[in-house]
Structure 1
Amino acid sequence: MSFKVTFIGAGSIGFTRGLLRDLLTVPEFKDIEVSFMDINSHNLEMVTELCQRDVIENGLKINIQATKDRREALKDAKYVFCTIRMGGLEAFSTDVDIPLKYGVDQCVGDTLCAGGIMYGQRGIAEMLDICRDIKEVAAPDVLLLNYSNPMVMLTWACNKYGGVRTIGLCHGVQHGHQQIAEVFGLKKSDVDIICAGINHQTWYISASHKGKDLTGGLLEAFEKHPEFSRTEKVRIDMLRRFGYYSTESNGHLSEYVPWYRKRADEIKDWIDLGSWINGETGGYLRVCTEGRNWFETDFPNWMKDPALEYTTENRGEEHGSFIIEGLETGRVYRGHFNVVNNGVISNLPDDAIIEAPGYVDRNGISMPHVGDLPLGPAAVCNASISVQRLAVEAAVHGDDKLLRQAFMMDPLVGAVCNPKEIWQMVDEMLVAGGQWLPQYGEAIAKAKETLSSGNLIPTAVNYEGAARLKVKSVEEMQQDRDAANKNAGESDKGKDREKVH
């Protein structure tokens, strides 16, 4: 069995190495072609060297093709993994720092809110270029497996405007599933769930054990849990108010809704600083920065460490390899996928990208009908979908009016800022990200004029946020090399949550 798999954004060590291990765990895939592409030569070289060592140590003869030429990498590819971060950490820092000046305090800033919207503007422009290359040089039946955020916006643009069949993939559902099992003292495999909504706002509308409903007892179980009662305050409060548990972490969820981060003096009431993912200001930017710095410094030692073992017990939970396995071998896989709704969830818009249960086998990817979400969770999702739709159309057409409307409609931005502040924030973010926003040339020129006029709303220039921690130095990270390696090497940087309080 031979086909070609291409990784775009292969310099992302956290995703690339693990996804390749998962893929090559499948016995039938020992002769596939693998191509890595990244615009960063240094990262591409390091990741390729490390992954090629893994391949050889596992007794396989696959020779990874590494290139900066995207079309060369995509030529004849049947499956494409996308893990790009457009603008890198340089642009990411503006997604966090500029909104902070206006009081918009984000933990992550890669899905919704001010940071997620601007991240989408950069990513969509690039994704449409990737789609053009895919249509011209990849295999006719190519499938794009998108891991890049903002998941919904990028997947929406690729399907509607890119003309490439695209599925968005995330690990959020697996985490909440594990938590639900844990609060009842059960194994994850013994708890059946139905989880549906939109990425990072997916709801466990059904949870059961041996046919017995667990949903009704979830609130009490979470409130009594010694760790989660402290680390998941936002999620538990949403469960209390809306009746259902949400997939996303405390920090993520807190920035998607208007209630928990709108007042600086209340933010610490809702978060926990034992782990960045529980709500730390700019927490994801910090750990990504630390991970990059550590990998670049410690890379020679990674080559001395044991290779990853391509065995079933070491295979990760990311959906991508299982989807390809199902399509190629016919083995049935059930996961949660981000796809165009088309009636799967009947009270969310048909054009939205929803996340819901799906099945994969040799016949393709099937999405069963979910029906209506409960009204409260549906309302939360619909508020976000309105922002996503505006942001996608803005990015595709370079329409800064729609972009500003997306900011206004965003729940947290709208809770914190007035319209004049939003307009000025968008001007600042357009100018800061200009080199990655080719579709906004005219708007950026006007924004520069406005910002240089001197008639500006005062902002908190040096404001660090309610709960920001400093980036660890390489020397500090060397004190716990295992933790540093996990941070740099995992695609899911919230997987091992520190229990430090």
Structure 2
Amino acid sequence: MSFKIAIIGAGSVGFTKKLFTDILCVPEFKDIEFALTDVSEHNLGMIKAILDRIVEANGLPTRVTATTDRRKAIEGARYIISCVRVGGLEAYADDIRIPLKYGIDQCVGDTICAGGILYGQRNIPVILDFCRDIREVAETNAKFLNYANPMAMNTWAAIEYGKVDTVGLCHGVQHGAEQIAAVLGAKSPRELDYVCSGINHQTWFIELRLNGREIGKDELIAAFEAHPVYSKQEKLRIDVLKRFGVYSTESNGHLSEYLPWYRKRPDEITRWIDMSDWIHGETGGYLRYSTETRNWFETEYPQFLEAASKPIDASKRSNEHASHILEALETNRVYRGHFNVKNNGVITNLPQDAVIESPGFVDRFGINMAAGITLPEACAATCMASINVQRMSVHAAISGDIDLLKLAVLHDPLVGAVSTPEEVWQMVDEMVVAQAQWLPQYAHAVPAAKERLSKSTVKTREWAGAARRNVRSIEELRAEKAALKQAG
């Protein structure tokens, strides 16, 4: 087979390498072309050198090109994969820093909450540019695979306004299933059969069977509470399991910022999180991790390049959906996964226009969703709160309506639990002004926002958050890795 895959945001080096090697684990795909594109020529050069080394080491005919001209990369592509973070770590830092001034403590801030909503405002205009290029120069009926957060908002915009065949992809379901299999004592996650449905980052394991035996709420709670690691790292997630009756896919830190109950007061935050790793609830944890990862990669690049000389091991193919979807579409080998698509009747008690995440099967006829799923009422209610925020956020990003943007932020569950309307109005003004270079649709609103900020009487505070850690230096990271290696 010979076709072209464009990867937008390919400068996300580690993830691009993973997608690349996964796809090349499919025997029929050796002769395809990868077109890499990114706004950073420096990052493009690094990832191209790594992928070229992989191709050379494995004696493959695979072609790899790299260009900062996105339209050229997309031209003639059958599949377009997006891994973009518009504004990079600079804008992301403001997604965390500014809400903290108003008492809003986020662990990740990339899905909803104040940070995730502003992230969507930056991404959606760019997503629509991608869609225009796909419509105009990609292969006819090309498929757009979106990995970028905020997943639901980006996918919603691409489908409703970009008019492109789009699917959103995430790995939260797989990771949650691995946890459940582990606490139940399974030898492999493959022993666990499940139905997981909801919206991205708020998906719920509504059916569980281990080797054909149904697993109930009480057994699952007992298994998690008895686990020596997860009982400490997933306290909030276990509490939600006890109250809702079903387990959430999302990590302790992520889940905490989608709900109005666990991060509303500093003392409550420290009660529910675990500081053994950023993902369990640390303030700005993913920002710290991303900064450290970027610094580590820049410094250790020669080692990454050297590692690319190893043969591809198909047994280590990851559970990221992209390669499996492409394999199913091109070879008709059926794949079952969990995909972000427009609802259209898939989940009976969520709105039809919402982007949901639910089970589906892929073959040469496309992605075929399992329809008619009904969520438990509490799960549906929690999803609905986020869906309403997502809908307003998408429409605000398209229209450039700053008042609608403020209403979207006001209705966010965690923001509403912490901040007053006056604080929300000022916070959004401050975020839009700080990120104006990435928010062209709000250019007309920036002067008035600046004027309001100059006259504001709403008090703020400089606050690092309830559980903030400093970014570690390269030397500290090296010492920590050496200690872990010695201990292991």
1:66 aligned residue: 66
1:276 is the counterpart of 2:278: yes
Q: Percent identity?
A: 57
- Mapping for residues 325-344 of structure 1, pairs under 5 Å: 325-344=327-346
- Mapping for residues 202-221 of structure 1, pairs under 5 Å: 202-216=203-217, 217-221=219-223
1:222 aligned residue: 224
- Mapping for residues 25-40 of structure 1, pairs under 5 Å: 25-40=25-40
Aligned mate of 1:242, from 222, 241, 244: 244
Structure 1 position 209, deviation (Å): 1.8
- Name the count of aligned residue pairs: 485
1:403 is the counterpart of 2:405: yes
Query: Structure 1 stretch 302-311 or stretch 321-330: which is displaced more?
Result: 302-311
Query: Structure 1 stretch 176-185 or stretch 323-332: which is displaced more?
Result: 176-185
| Distance in structure 1 (CA, Å) of the matches to 2:229 and 2:163 | 45
1:192 aligned residue: 193
Structure 1 position 301, deviation (Å): 2.5
- Aligned partner of residue 2 in structure 1, secondary structure: coil
- Mapping for residues 41-440 of structure 1, pairs under 5 Å: 41-186=41-186, 187-216=188-217, 217-440=219-442
- Mapping for residues 485-500 of structure 1, pairs under 5 Å: none
2:460 aligned residue: 459
| Distance in structure 2 (CA, Å) of the matches to 1:123 and 1:11 | 16
- Aligned partner of residue 334 in structure 1, secondary structure: strand
Structure 1 position 307, deviation (Å): 2.9
Q: Please provide the CA RMSD for this pair.
A: 1.6
1:450 is the counterpart of 2:460: no
1:490 aligned residue: none
Query: Structure 1 stretch 51-60 or stretch 326-335: which is displaced more?
Result: 51-60
- Aligned partner of residue 247 in structure 2, secondary structure: coil
| Distance in structure 2 (CA, Å) of the matches to 1:222 and 1:300 | 41
Aligned partners of 2:430 and 2:453 also within 8 Å: yes
Q: TM-score, normalised by structure 2?
A: 0.97
- Aligned partner of residue 162 in structure 1, secondary structure: coil
| Distance in structure 1 (CA, Å) of the matches to 2:408 and 2:484 | 37
Aligned partners of 2:67 and 2:73 also within 8 Å: yes
| Distance in structure 1 (CA, Å) of the matches to 2:35 and 2:471 | 33
| Distance in structure 1 (CA, Å) of the matches to 2:469 and 2:484 | 16
| Distance in structure 1 (CA, Å) of the matches to 2:126 and 2:13 | 20
Aligned partners of 1:340 and 1:354 also within 8 Å: yes
1:494 aligned residue: none
Aligned partners of 1:478 and 1:484 also within 8 Å: no
- Aligned partner of residue 323 in structure 1, secondary structure: helix
Deviations 1:201-234 (A, max 9, x none): 0000000123321133211221222211110011
Aligned partners of 1:21 and 1:308 also within 8 Å: no
- Mapping for residues 10-21 of structure 1, pairs under 5 Å: 10-21=10-21
| Distance in structure 2 (CA, Å) of the matches to 1:457 and 1:313 | 57
- Aligned partner of residue 140 in structure 1, secondary structure: coil
Structure 1 position 482, deviation (Å): 7.8
2:4 aligned residue: 4
Structure 1 position 3, deviation (Å): 0.5
Aligned partners of 1:21 and 1:309 also within 8 Å: no
Deviations 1:253-307 (A, max 9, x none): 0000000000012211000000000000000000100111111122123223353
| Distance in structure 1 (CA, Å) of the matches to 2:364 and 2:84 | 28
Runs of 5+ unmatched residues, structure 2 = none
| Distance in structure 2 (CA, Å) of the matches to 1:301 and 1:225 | 36
Aligned partners of 1:281 and 1:467 also within 8 Å: yes
| Distance in structure 1 (CA, Å) of the matches to 2:190 and 2:435 | 44
| Distance in structure 2 (CA, Å) of the matches to 1:179 and 1:286 | 24
- Aligned partner of residue 64 in structure 1, secondary structure: strand
- Aligned partner of residue 194 in structure 2, secondary structure: strand
Letter of the 2:459 counterpart:
P
Aligned partners of 1:294 and 1:484 also within 8 Å: no
| Distance in structure 2 (CA, Å) of the matches to 1:33 and 1:211 | 42
Deviations 1:429-472 (A, max 9, x none): 0001100000001221211111122x3311112x1000000001
- Aligned partner of residue 5 in structure 1, secondary structure: strand
From the superposition, tell whether residues 214 and 438 of structure 1 become closer, same or farther in structure 2 (CA, over 3 Å).
same
- Aligned partner of residue 120 in structure 2, secondary structure: helix
Structure 1 position 157, deviation (Å): 0.2
Letter of the 1:161 counterpart:
Y
Letter of the 1:214 counterpart:
I
- Mapping for residues 469-488 of structure 1, pairs under 5 Å: 469-480=469-480
